[in-house]
């Protein structure tokens, strides 16, 4: 038995907030009856959205899985993309239900990407309140000056009315830096560096909270251990 908004989030159909909006709009039915906020789905119930049957059969028996994946250059984090035939989902293992990406990496960023079969968990981990650290290795076209470092650590304007803010910047070689931040705004590192007149030549995520890329090779996936999963399940 689940509240409908939790059920739809869990199977990865949409977030709880989006589910509530669908309920209010009157397009969700259980056993052919329009539902309201707070209504619950029980095993055996028929659930439709816009008169289309939604498969929720695995919700009650679902075992939460999380995998890490080494995203290569040029793969898009989308199931279908009219401009790119290579997607991260092509290399993932079969699973009952579907894999849901926890955050994204843009086309030209490589490295650690997490997936789960539980949409509720994915939304919780991605929510800004979770503040999980992400660590990247970035190569720039020239050194980051001290003034630029100070600006990036304080926060710089990016995108539309957003702020890009790094937690740490650690020099790791000639024009190579380890950058740690706890937010996942769209192209946050690239746009923050662009603001201080730096070009990102390469960008790779190597760590998400306690989960490391380790010795994985491009295109490889690994299931998280029970201990690793507790990072996100607590």
pLDDT at 184 over 90: no
pLDDT at 222 over 70: yes
Percent pLDDT > 70 in the chain is: 100
pLDDT at 82 over 80: no
Task: Yes or no: say if 153 and 170 are a contact pair by the CB < 8 Å rule.
Answer: no
Catalytic residue among 81, 106, 141, 214: 106
Average pLDDT, the chain: 93
pLDDT of residue 153: 98
Residues 6+ apart with CB under 8 A from 95: 65, 117
pLDDT at 80 over 90: no
pLDDT at 58 over 80: no
pLDDT of residue 226: 92
**Which of the residue ranges 121-130, 166-175, 193-202 would you say has the lowest mean pLDDT?**
121-130
How would residue 234 be classed by pLDDT, with cut points 50, 70 and 90? low
Instruction: Give the integer Cα–Cα distance in Å for 117 and 223.
Output: 12
pLDDT of residue 68: 98
Helix (H) or strand (E) holding 121: helix 119-126
Q: What is the pTM of this model?
A: 0.85
90 counts as catalytic: no
Q: Average of pLDDT values for 93-101? A: 90
């Amino acid at each position: 038995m689940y509240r409908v908004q939790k059920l739809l989030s869990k199977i990865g159909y949409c977030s709880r907030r989006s589910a509530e909006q669908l309920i209010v709009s009157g397009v969700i039915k259980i056993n052919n009856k329009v539902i309201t906020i707070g209504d619950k789905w029980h095993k055996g119930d028929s659930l439709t959205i816009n008169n289309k049957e939604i498969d929720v059969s695995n919700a009650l028996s679902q075992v939460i899985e999380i995998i890490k994946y080494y995203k290569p250059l040029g793969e898009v984090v989308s199931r279908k993309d009219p401009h790119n035939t290579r997607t991260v989902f092509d290399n993932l293992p079969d699973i009952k239900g579907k894999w849901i990406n926890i955050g994204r990496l843009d086309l030209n960023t490589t490295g650690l990407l997490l997936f789960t079969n539980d949409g509720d968990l994915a939304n919780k981990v991605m929510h800004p309140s979770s503040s999980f650290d992400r660590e990247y290795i970035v190569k720039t076209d020239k050194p980051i000056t001290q003034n630029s470092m100070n600006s990036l650590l304080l926060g710089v304007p990016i995108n539309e009315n957003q702020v890009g803010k790094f937690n740490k910047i650690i020099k790791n070689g000639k024009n190579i830096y380890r950058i740690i931040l706890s937010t996942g705004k769209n192209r946050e590192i690239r746009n923050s560096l662009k603001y201080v007149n730096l070009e990102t030549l390469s960008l790779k995520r190597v760590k998400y909270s306690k989960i490391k890329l380790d010795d994985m090779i491009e295109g490889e996936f690994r299931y998280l251990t029970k201990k690793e999963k507790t990072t996100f399940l607590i």
